Amino acid sequence: FSAGFVGWLIGMAINIHSDHILRNLRKPGETGYKIPRGGMFEYVSGANFFGEILEWFGFALACCTIESLAFALCTLFILGSRARQHHLWYLEKFEDYPKDRKIVMPFVY
């Protein structure tokens, strides 16, 4: 339970911090798109998605039920797909997008 709770807590912190970075990419009145930087965005394109995936796998570990694992896996597949779409869009839109940045799992995918 404790390991799952810690995983959930870290995931939530990553998710909140990543959302904060995304909300503050542009100053008031600015338009256009920008590359997110800082936090887990230094490692993955979908830092907010990574945080949420980690949250639900932590929850599944804490609960130790087949239902919570099923929910975590569904979250992984759905948000992993969205993160891939975002990553490909960033690569297409920005010539200077960091080529070593992964999609959603740091150092892996």
DSSP assignments along the chain, one per residue = -HHHHHHHHHHHHHHHHHHHHHHTSS-TT--S-----SGGGGTBTTHHHHHHHHHHHHHHHHH--HHHHHHHHHHHHHHHHHHHHHHHHHHHH-TTS-TT-BSSSTTT-
**Cα–Cα distances in Å, from 37 out to 13, 24, 26, 43, 65?**
16, 11, 12, 9, 36
| pLDDT tens digits along 21-41 | 999 999 888 888 999 999 999
Provide the percentage of residues in the chain whose pLDDT is more than 70.
Answer: 100
Model pLDDT for residues 48-68, shown as the tens digit of each residue: 999 999 999 999 999 999 999
Q: What is the average per-residue pLDDT within 10-24? A: 96
Q: What is the reported pLDDT for 56? A: 97
pTM of the model: 0.91
